[in-house]
Amino acid sequence: MRTKIDNRIRILIENSLAKGHRSMFVIVGDRGREQIPVLHHILSKAAIAARPTVLWCYKKDLGYSSNKKKRIRQIHLKSSVSTISEGDPFEVFISTTKIRYCYYNETHNILGNTYGMLVLQDFEALTPNLLARTIETIEGGGVIVLLMKTVNSLRQLYTIAMHASSASEEELKALKEGMKDTKPIGSLLNKCRTACQGKVLLRLLDVITDKDLNVTCSITAARGRGKSAALGLALAGAIAFGYSNIFVTSPSPENLRTLFEFIIKGFDTVGYQEHIDFELIQSTNPEFQKALVRVNVFREHRQTIQYIHPSDASKLGHAELVVVDEAAAIPLPLLKELIFVKSSDLGQHLVFLASTINGYEGTGRSLSLKLLQHLRQQSAGCVKGDKLAASKGRKLHELTMEESIRYKPGDEIEQWLSRVLCLDSAKIKTNLACGTPPPSDCELYYVNRDTLFSFHNASEAFLQQIMAIYVAAHYKNSPNDLQMLSDAPAHHLFVLMSPVKENQSSIPEVLAVAQICLEGDLTKHFISKAMDNGKRAAGDLLPWTVSQQFMDRDFPTLCGGRVVRIAVHPDLQSMGYGTRTLELLEEYYLGNIPSIEETVRESVKIVKDEHTVALLEEQVAPRSDLPPLLLRLTERKAEYLDYLGVSFGLTLNLLKFWKKSGYVPVYLRQTPNPLTGEYTCVMLKQIHDQSSCNAWLAVYYREFRSRILSLLSFEFRKLPISLGLSLLQVRNKEVNEALQHDRRVITREQLSMYLSNIDLKRLSEFARNLVDHSLITDLLPTVSRLYFGEQLPANVNLSTPQTAVLLGLGLQHKSADSVHEELDLPQSQVLALHSKCIRKLADEFDKMCMDSIRNSISDKALNLDKEEQFAAVNHLKPLAQSIEDDLEKAASEFREQHFHDKDAFLKDVDLSQYAINVDTKTLAKACDVSMTYSRPLITTKRMMILLGGKKFQRRKGPEEKKNTTKWYEGASRRLQKISDISMIRRRVVNSDKPFMSAFGSTLRNKKMKCFWNDSVNGLLYNEAVSFMKSKKHDVQQWGDLPFQQCQFENFSVVIKNK
C-alpha cells in the first residue's frame, strides 16, 4: 500500500539543497527507520550528483545486519532466492547505498569526513558531544534524521535562533584572479571554496616556499570550514616545490580521508598522474578500513607523504614537514614531542597544526590556551628557562577560518546547534564597563539554574556570559559540561559580581564563576558494601578517592563540597577575585553569613504532562512563574559542610592559588592525564570542627607527605623541583600547628637505624671539605627524608635554594647538571649550596651524638670531673717571662749561631783560587760589559722600600733638609744589614737612578766607614762610576767632592757640586 507523504517534506529538502543548507527531520515512532529510504530517495532525485552517502550512528543494536553479504544470505534463507525483493524499499536502500555504520562510542573515527545524510538512532543515548560531533560531518543540502520512539510531550525542547556570518565570494574571486598565472599556486587556489580557505592556503604555500624550517602554522576553526582540504592542497604544493619527507598524523588514519583526498586532487591539478608519477598505499589494518597511509611520488626524485601515529615522534629524524590534523584530540604531551622535543634532537622541521576548538569531546581549549600560548611566547622570545635550544625563537603563524565549506552561511541547523550547546561562547565580547573594583567590595550571588535555563532573553544573555568566562578561563569545555550544569541536582552555581550602585537598573557584570558539587554524606552500610565489592557508585569523587587512598571508611560519611570549576574573567585574572570568591564561599558554608529565610524552598518541581493535547498541537513556551535569577547569600540557607575540596590538573600556578586559600594536598595521581599530561591533585580544607581531637586533615597530609617523599624518586621524578618543593609546604595554619605539635624528632638510637657511625663520619668529613661529594651520594636520600619528613629539630632550617637543591639531588635523584639547568644556577653554585646544606645537617647529627654521649655520663662523674678542673685551675701560676721575650731570646741565639757558622765556613774555604789578578784600569774596563744574571734582579720599587720606603720631591728649608738627612741615615742602617756583596753589585749595576743616588749618599756617610773596607768601597765606587757613565750622567768624584743634595723628581737624579 502506497501512502502519499506531505509535499512540504520534498519542498524543504529541495530548498535546502538549492541554498546549500542542511535540513533536519525528527521521526517519532517505533518504525521510523522505514522512512529513511523515502527521505534518501527524495534527496537523491533533487541532487544533481552521485547518490549521497549515509552516516548511520547507533548505540549498540542496529536491528539488522550491516554486512551486505550476510544480509543477502538472510534473505536467501527466507525466500530461497538470492535476489533482493523489489517490494521492500528498505532492503533496496541498504543494498544500493553506501552507508557508514558507527557506534556512538566510535564517532571519533569519523572526524574529518563528509556525508550527505545522517541517521541518529537510539535518541535516548545521544549526548551533546555526540550531537555536535556527528551533525558537523553533513554537507550543505544534506538531511539529518533523528529517530525517536513514541513520545507524548516535547515540553523540554527549545528552538533558538542566532546570528551567522556571510560569505565573501568576491574576495575569493579576486584571490584566484591575482594568482592564476603563478604555477602551481594558481591551479591549487582554484580548488578553494571560500575566501578564508584561499587565504589559509596562500599562507601555507608562502611558508613552504620560504623553506624556513623553524616555523609553526596553526589553523583553528569550527568544524566544516575546510581545514583538512587546505592542508591537502598545501601538501600537494609542497611536493611540487621539492619537499621529500612529509609526515602526517592524526588520532586515526580514518580522520585523514579528506586530507588524502585533496592531496590527490592537488596532484591532478599540477599534472601528476597516478601509477606514472605517484602511487597510493592503503593500510592493511582492518580497523582502519583500508584508509590511505602513504603516498609515494617518483616523478623527479623519491618523495613520500607518510602517516605516523602521534606517539611515534621518534620517527621524525629526517622530516621536512609535519602535519597534525585534529590536533586538539591528541594528548598535549604527544603534541609537544612532535613539535619540540624530537626536533631539538633530530633536526628542525616545518609544523602545520589544524584543529577544531569546539564541538566535540576532548578538545575544549587546551590547544589554544596551553600549546598556542607556549608557541606565542617562544615566537616572542620570552620563554624563561626554555631548555629546547633548537626551538627557541620558533616563528608562529596563527590562521583562522570562519566560512563553512560543507554548507553555506546562514545554515539554521548550525545556528540552532551553536545556540543550544553554547558553542560560540568564545566569540562573545566580555568587555567590562565596571573597571576593576576592589575584590573586598564585590558580592557573591547564588544562581537559580531553573531560571538560568528558562530561555528568557535576560537569562540567555547571562548564560552566554557565564559560558564565555568558562571557555576563556578553563582548558577544557565540552557540551556535556553544559548538560551537567543544567541537570545535575547536586551542582550549585555562584557568581562574583561588581558592587551594585543605587541608581543602577541593569544586572551587575560577572567577574568570577564558581560551580560547587555537594558530595559525601553516605551511610556506613552503603560504604562498606561498595568497598567490599571493590566497586563504587558514580559521583562523589572526593569521598571515594580519599577513602580508598587512606583506607578510611568514615570519610565518606562527612559532608563536603567540591569546587568543580572556578573561572575568573580573562581581564581580571591574578587580581584576587578568585581568592575572594573562595573566601565568601567558605564564609557562606561556615554559617557566618546569616540567612533571612529560615525555611529552604524546594527548587525542584515535578512537571505533570497533560495527555489531552496531541503531540503536533502542543505549544512549547518558556515558563512564566520563575523565581529570581540571582539570590544574595543571605536569602538562601547554606547546606552544612565539613570540608571543601577540589580536584585539578597539577601546575605550579594552580597549586599556589589553592594553597593561598588554605587548601592542603592529600592525593596526587601517579598516572598523568592523557589529554594534558598533568597529574590530578586533590586538595581539601576542613571548615568545621577543627579541634585537635578531630584534626583528620593533618593526619591525611602527614601520610600524603610521607608517600610523596618516596614517590619523588619514581613517577614524580619528572616534576619540576619548584613544584615538588611546593607540595611539601602548606599554608594552612591549623594543619601546621598540628604538625608542629606532633613533630617526632628522631633520637640518637633511632638515628643509628638510618645512618651508621661510618656514615656519620663520612658526612662530617664532607662538611669539612675533606672528601668529595661522590662519597656521600648514597646518603642523600636518607638525609633528605629525615629533613623533609620533619624528623629533625625545628631550629634546623635551610634556605630556599638549599632546600631546592637537596630535594632535586636527594629525593628526585637528579644529577647536578639537570639541577643547575632547571634552577638556572651555575653548577658550581649548585654544588656550593649542596655543601652548605650537608654541613648544617652534619653539624646537627654531630650535636645529636655529643648530646647523647653527654647524657650517658652520670651526674656524679660529671661533678668529679668539674672538681678536678677547678683544682687544676687554682694551682696555675703565671710564668716569669712573657712569650714575646721568650721568642726574642730564641731569635738572638739562632742569629748568633748563624753568624758563627758562616764565619767558620768562610775561614775554612780557600778563596784565593777565585782572585782576579788585574789592575784597576782593566777591572774598570771590564765593568762596562753588560752581564746577565740567572737570578731575577730586585725591582726599583722594592729597593726604594728597602732603602727608605717613600719617594721624595724637591725639599726646601732647614726642616725639610733635616727630614732628608734622617731618611739617608735610615737607608744607611738598612744597607748595613746586607751581607751579600754580589747582591749589592747586581743592584748597583742594573738598578735605576733613584737607587744610585741613594747609594752614593750612603757611601759618603761617616757611619758606613766601620762597615765598608777599602776594597769593597773601591769596587762599589768603580761600579757606580761605570754605571753613571753608561747612563751619560756628569759624574764627579764622590770621594773628593762632598755630597750636597740628592733630590727625587720624576725619578731623575740631580747631583750638584758646592
Binding site, annotated residues: 224-233, 406, 566-568, 573-579, 660
Give the span between the Cα atoms of 130 and 103, in whole angstroms. Answer: 10
Q: Containing H/E element for 568?
A: strand 559-568
The CA-based angle 876-877-880, given to 5 degrees, is 150
Residue type, 64: Y
Sheet with 23-28, side-by-side order of all strands = 23-28, 138-148, 115-120, 54-58, 99-103
* Pair 678, 651: CB distance under 8 Å: yes
How buried is residue 1013: exposed, middle or buried, by Cβ count under 10 Å (0-12/13-18/19+)? exposed
Residue 259: name the closest of 250, 269, 272, 268 by CA.
250
Give the span between the Cα atoms of 929 and 1026, in whole angstroms. Answer: 10
Point out the annotated binding site for ATP.
Answer: 224-233, 406
* Pair 326, 223: CB distance under 8 Å: no
User: All 3 cell numbers of residue 184?
Assistant: 602551481
Q: Containing H/E element for 245?
A: strand 245-249
How buried is residue 101: exposed, middle or buried, by Cβ count under 10 Å (0-12/13-18/19+)? middle
Q: Specify the residue for cell string 760589559.
A: 929
Number of H helices, E strands in the chain: 39, 21
User: All 3 cell numbers of residue 565?
Assistant: 570549576
Return the half-sphere exposure (C-beta side, CA atoms, 13 A cut-off) of residue 692.
Answer: 7
Q: Are strands 664-668 and 680-686 parallel, antiparallel or unpaired?
A: antiparallel
Alpha-carbon dihedral sign for residues 128, 129, 132, 133? negative
* Pair 367, 327: CB distance under 8 Å: yes
User: All 3 cell numbers of residue 163?
Assistant: 546570528
User: All 3 cell numbers of residue 381?
Assistant: 622570545
* CA 225 remoteness from chain centre: 32
278: β partners: 274, 297
Give the span between the Cα atoms of 352 and 365, in whole angstroms. Answer: 18
Residue 1021: name the closest of 1002, 1044, 1007, 1006 by CA.
1002
The CA-based angle 479-483-487, given to 5 degrees, is 175
Give the span between the Cα atoms of 284 and 286, in whole angstroms. Answer: 6
Q: Are strands 303-308 and 292-297 parallel, antiparallel or unpaired?
A: antiparallel
User: What dihedral angle (degrees, nearest 10) is formed by the CA atoms of 381, 382, 388, 392?
Assistant: 0
Residue 614: name the closest of 90, 151, 65 by CA.
151
User: All 3 cell numbers of residue 201?
Assistant: 592556503
SS3 957: coil
Give the span between the Cα atoms of 834 and 804, in whole angstroms. Answer: 10
The CA-based angle 813-815-818, given to 5 degrees, is 115
User: All 3 cell numbers of residue 205?
Assistant: 604555500
* Pair 989, 928: CB distance under 8 Å: no
Point out the annotated binding site for acetyl-CoA.
Answer: 566-568, 573-579, 660
DSSP structure class, residue 341: I
Give the span between the Cα atoms of 430 and 436, in whole angstroms. Answer: 14
Give the span between the Cα atoms of 108 and 220, in whole angstroms. Answer: 18
Give the span between the Cα atoms of 696 and 241, in whole angstroms. Answer: 67
* CA 285 remoteness from chain centre: 37
DSSP structure class, residue 476: -
